Structure 1
Amino acid sequence: MIWLTWRQLRTQAGATYALLAVLAVILATTGSQLLHLYETAGADFLTRLTEADNSLYLVGALAVMALPALIGMFWGAPLITRELDAGTHRLVWNQGVTRTRWLITKLGLTGLAAMAAAGALSLAVSWWAGPIDATADGSSVLAGFYFPRLSPLMFDARGVAPIGHAAFAFTLGVTLGVLIRRTLPAMIVTLVAFITVQVAVPLWVRPALIAPARLTTPISAANFRLWDGENVKVLIDKPGAWTIGQHTIDAAGRSVAAPSWIPDCLGQVRAELDTGCLDRLGRLGYRQLVSYQPAGRFWTFQWYELGIFLALAVLLALFCAWWIRRHVS
C-alpha cells in the first residue's frame, strides 16, 4: 500500500522537490553575500540591496505562500477523487486493505511529504531573508516594500506556520475531492476555499488570538504616515510591530473624527509635510490611540497558527474517514 501510494505521488513530489532544490541552491548562493552586506552596511543595508535581491525577496515570499495552495490543488484534490473516478479503490479494498488503512496510508504519506516541502521552503526563505527581516521594522521610508515578518503581508511566508497551511490545504483538497468526486472542479474549489481562509485568518482570527497592546502617541510630522481620506494614520516607535488599528482621540481621551479642516490642510502640505497642520493637532490635544502586536510575539502567533491549522487538518481527515465509510462504496 505504501509503495502504491508512493508510485502515485512520485511525479508531483518529484517536480515539487526539484523546484525547491533549485530555489534552495539560489538562496544558499546569494544568502551569504546578503549576510555579509548586512554585517558591513549598517543603517544603509536596505538601500544597498540590488534589484536581484529585491526580486528574490518577493519571489521567495510568494513561493512559500503559494506552495500550500498548489499542494491542495495538485496533491490533495486528485488523491482520492481519481481513484473514485477510476473505481480502483474497490480493487484495493478487495485485496484485504481496509478503507481506514487505505485512507491513513494515502493521507499520512502524502501529507507528510507536503508538510516537509512547505517546511523546507519556509526554512530556506526565512534564513535567506533574515537580514532583511531584522532591518525592516516598518518605520523606515522603505517600509512600503520591506514588510516586518509579523505583518499580515509577510507572516504566512515565515516560520512554521506554512507547515500547518500545507497540511490544511492538502486535507482540504482531499475532502473537497471526496465530496465533489470530480477532479477539476475539486481543484478549483480547493484554491478558492484556501485563499478565502488565508484572507479571513489575518483579518479576523489572528488579531483575536492575543489581546493587543495599546499606546497613545501625539500626532506630529515626525510620526505622520498618511491621511486615508477619513483618519490620520501614524507610525509608532515599536520596531517590527503589527499595527492592528488606530483612531484619533481628543484631550479628554474620547474617540473623535479628525477636525473638518484636516483634509484641506494635509492636501496642501502632503508633499513637504512640514506641518502647521499636524502641529496644530498636537497643540489642540489630539492624539492617536494605537492597538498593536509587538514584534516579540511573532513566534507565539506562529505556534498558535500552526496548531490551529494542524487541528483543522486532523478534523478534515477524520471527516474524510467517516464519509468514505458511510457514503463511498
Structure 2
Amino acid sequence: MIWLTWRQFRAAAVATAAALAALAAVLALTGPGLADDYSAGIAACTAQGSDCARFREGFFQDNQAPFFGLTAVMLALPALIGLFWGAPMITRELESGTHQLVWNQSITRTRWLAVKLALTGLAVMTTAGLASLALSWWSSPLDQAGAANDPGFPRMGPLLFDVRGIAPIGYAAFAFILGVAVGMLVRRALPAMAVTLAVFTAVQVAMPLLVRPHLRAPVHATVELSTSNLNQLGLRPDEGVDVHLRAMAPDKGGWVLSTRLIDKSGNEVHGVLPVSTASGPCALRDRRQQGPDPCLNELNRLGYRQEVSYHPADRFWAFQWTETGIYMVLTLGLTAFCFWRIRRLS
C-alpha cells in the first residue's frame, strides 16, 4: 500500500522537490549578499551618528520586488497544495474506479485512506516548513528594514505573519485535508478544487480579521502627538486644526488594530479641533516662521492624544503557536470526517 501510494504521488513529489531545490538555490546565492549589504549599510550610517531611517527605507525599496514576489508565492503555496494535492487525491480514484480494485482485496478502506493521508500529509508539512524556513532566512534583512519603515511591514502584520515561522505548516496541512474532505463530498475533481479554493480563501481572510486580533488582549497605549504619529496637520481658517493620525505602534514592529484621537477626558474626537488658527501657536500667519512643532505642543498642552490598540512584536511566536494549533485542530477534525466518510463511499 505504501508503494502504491508513492507511485501515485511520485510525479507531484518530484516536481515539488525540483521547485524547492530551485528556490533554495536562488535564495542561497542571493541571501548572503543581501545580508552583507544590510549589515554594511547599518554600520556605515551608525558610524555617522544617523538613526539609519533613510538607509532602511532605500534598502527596502531597492529589494521590494523580490520580497513581495516571494511573499506572494508563499501565500499561494497552501492554497495550491489544497487544490492540486488534496482535492484530486480521492476524487481521481472515485472518477476512474481504481479505488474498487484496492477495496476488493485484503486492504481495508481505513488503511487505504490512512496510508494516503499519512504519506502525502507528511510531504505537505515538510514542503511548507522548508519553504517558510528558507524564505524567513532570506528575508531577515528586509524584515528588519521593513519593520523600521513608516508605515512598515512588521512580522506581526497580516501580510508577513502568514508567511513566516511555523504558521505555513498549519495552513498547508489544513488546505490539504480540506481538499481531501471536499473531494470526498463532491466526488469530482474540478468542482472539488473550486470549492476548496473558495473555502480556504474565506478561512484565510477571516483569521486575521476575526480571530487573530482576539487571541490575546491587545495593548492600549496613549501617546502624545508628534511628527512620527501624524500623517498631516491641517490648519483651516476660521475652523481650527485638522489632525490626521498615522497607524503606528509605540513599539517598533507591533501590529496596530485601531487608532483614534482623544481629548483630555479620554473621549474620541472627530473632525476639526476647535483650536484658533487666527492667533497663538497654530496661527496661519506664523506657520512659516514657527514650523509645525509649536502647534503640536499646543495640541498636547490642551490634552489631545493618540490612543493606539496593538499587539507588540514580542507576541509573534505566541501567536504563531496558537494559530498553528487552531489549524491543526481543524485538520484533525477534517481527518476524522474523512475516515467517517470513507466508510460510506461506494
How does the TM-score come out when normalised to structure 1?
Answer: 0.88
CA contact (8 A) 2:230 2:243 kept: no
User: Aligned runs of 1:293-308 on 2, under 5 Å?
Assistant: 293-308=311-326
CA contact (8 A) 1:37 1:45 kept: no
**SS in structure 1 of the partner of residue 168 of structure 2:** helix
User: Aligned runs of 1:205-284 on 2, under 5 Å?
Assistant: 205-225=211-231, 232-259=245-272, 274=292, 281-284=299-302
CA contact (8 A) 1:46 1:132 kept: no
Query: Structure 1's 49 and 230: CA in aligned 2 closer, same or farther, altered over 3 A?
Result: closer
Specify the alignment match of 1:176 in structure 2.
Answer: 182
Confirm or deny that 1:162 pairs with 2:161. Answer: no
Structure 2 gaps, min length 5: 43-51, 234-241, 276-283
Counterpart AA for 1:70: L
CA contact (8 A) 2:229 2:247 kept: yes
Query: Structure 1's 93 and 226: CA in aligned 2 closer, same or farther, altered over 3 A?
Result: farther
CA contact (8 A) 2:230 2:244 kept: no
Specify the alignment match of 2:203 in structure 1.
Answer: 197
Residue correspondences, number? 315
**SS in structure 2 of the partner of residue 243 of structure 1:** strand
Specify the alignment match of 1:30 in structure 2.
Answer: 30
Please report how far the alpha carbon of residue 258 of structure 1 lies from its aligned counterpart in structure 2 after TM superposition: 3.8
Query: Structure 1's 173 and 231: CA in aligned 2 closer, same or farther, altered over 3 A?
Result: farther
Computing the radius of gyration from Cα coordinates, the structure with the larger value is 2
Please report how far the alpha carbon of residue 88 of structure 1 lies from its aligned counterpart in structure 2 after TM superposition: 1.4
**Higher mean displacement: 18-27 or 280-289:** 280-289
**SS in structure 2 of the partner of residue 245 of structure 1:** strand
Tell me, in whole angstroms, the C-alpha distance in 2 between the residues paired with 1:234 and 1:300.
23
Structure 1 gaps, min length 5: 263-267
Percent of counterpart pairs with the same letter?
A: 50
Query: Structure 1's 50 and 137: CA in aligned 2 closer, same or farther, altered over 3 A?
Result: closer
Counterpart AA for 1:116: T
Confirm or deny that 1:320 pairs with 2:338. Answer: yes
Specify the alignment match of 2:238 in structure 1.
Answer: none
Please report how far the alpha carbon of residue 149 of structure 1 lies from its aligned counterpart in structure 2 after TM superposition: 1.1
1:102-146 deviation per Cα after TM superposition (whole angstroms, max 9, x unaligned): 1111111111101111100000000001122223225x24x45xx
1:133 equivalent among 143, 149, 152: 143
RMSD between superposed Cα atoms in Å: 2.5
Tell me, in whole angstroms, the C-alpha distance in 1 between the residues paired with 2:60 and 2:268.
42
How does the TM-score come out when normalised to structure 2?
Answer: 0.84
Counterpart AA for 1:255: E
Please report how far the alpha carbon of residue 254 of structure 1 lies from its aligned counterpart in structure 2 after TM superposition: 2.1
**SS in structure 2 of the partner of residue 251 of structure 1:** coil
**SS in structure 1 of the partner of residue 147 of structure 2:** coil
Please report how far the alpha carbon of residue 245 of structure 1 lies from its aligned counterpart in structure 2 after TM superposition: 1.1
CA contact (8 A) 1:242 1:292 kept: yes
CA contact (8 A) 1:231 1:258 kept: no
